[in-house]
Amino acid sequence: MTAVRVRGLTRAYPARKGSDGRPHLALDAFDLTVERGEIHGLLGPNGAGKTTLCRILCTVLLPTSGTAEVLGHDVLAEADAVRRSIGIVFGGERGLYGRLTATQNLCFWAALYGLSGRDLHSRVDMLLARMGLGDRAHDRVDTMSRGMKQRLHIARGLVHDPSVLILDEPTIGMDPVAAHAFRELIEQLRAEERTVLLTTHDMQEAEALCDRVTLVDHGQVIVTESVTEVGSLLARGDRIEAAGVPDTTVLALRKLPGITSVDASDNGTVRVVPNAESGTEQALRLLVDAGVTRISTAPPTLEEVYLGLIGSRGMAVRS
């Protein structure tokens, strides 16, 4: 069964001041299918419509037109069933009560989902332990680090054991160690056969975690593709890395047609980015003819595809 099915989804907001007076379409005839057990990335610049989609799927925002279903339940007609099936995790500070302890926060949410008594407490204790927060269970949330709050958010999203999880910018504000732990957690969720819809600006994160990605811009789907195949969208040939490349060969590479860039470092390592398949072939031939033997090729990364299709708007930059 499909986990998330969105067809022709449109969400209009009132026209902005200074605009042409037409409603602003945050989502515009949006189609998306997320299979059960899939980790699906939703990537796009600020204002692309990702949060609007997440909010509609969680039943807290009404669509203007079109349909959205979670595990076959319509978000409008069967909102209760959708809420039981889906957990949402927001990035940043939203959604937790700072003056309450971690345990109190989770008990509150668990009670809202109808848990009580021993079930409630064992579920809360289990989730806190699982998120590595067992020793902070009785600390106020506003005394916790961002990474801890983020793990608490994830515990909150799992409190009613949903089979579909929506993670909206979950690693925002996490340091690299916390972000690494987060990736391990996603792998656990995958092993539990949960479905995850993950919005992020971080291309490396998406590439590492997702089975498929949907690139979004201006409320519309640009493309949905598996992470392993997404590089072929550029259809510009594999990137080449070579070591021990003589200076004369670097100059010759730069003169080849079908080459976007040739970056050479002082130690003779060269990275060639072609803009056509023929560019890859010619560059390889030139390197081999020059006696270079340490050569590797790789398809374009998700980051390059994003840059090619959307540009550099809203992409995370790692320091």
* Binding residues for ligand ATP (CB under 6 A): 13, 24, 26, 44, 46-52
Give min distance, CB of 203 to ligand ATP, in A: 14
**Smallest distance from ligand ATP to CB 50, Å:** 4
- Give the nearest distance from C-beta 49 to ligand ATP in angstroms: 4
Give the residue with the Cβ less far from ligand ATP, 44 or 279.
Answer: 44
Least separation in angstroms between CB 216 and ligand ATP:
7
d(CA 8, CA 189): 29
Whichever of 48 and 210 has its CB closer to ligand ATP, that residue is: 48
Residue 11 or 160 with smaller CB distance to ligand ATP: 11
Q: Which is nearer to ligand ATP, 52 or 249 (CB)?
A: 52
Give the residue with the Cβ less far from ligand ATP, 105 or 200: 200
Strands 65-70 and 39-43, sheet pairing: unpaired
Q: Which is nearer to ligand ATP, 5 or 50 (CB)?
A: 50
What is the C-alpha separation between 194 and 64, in angstroms, rounded? 29
Query: Which residues fall within 8 angstroms of residue 220, CB to CB, at 6 or more apart?
Result: 28, 29, 30, 49
Q: Compute the least distance from the CB of residue 26 to ligand ATP, in Å.
A: 3
What minimum distance in Å lies between the beta carbon of 314 and ligand ATP? 6
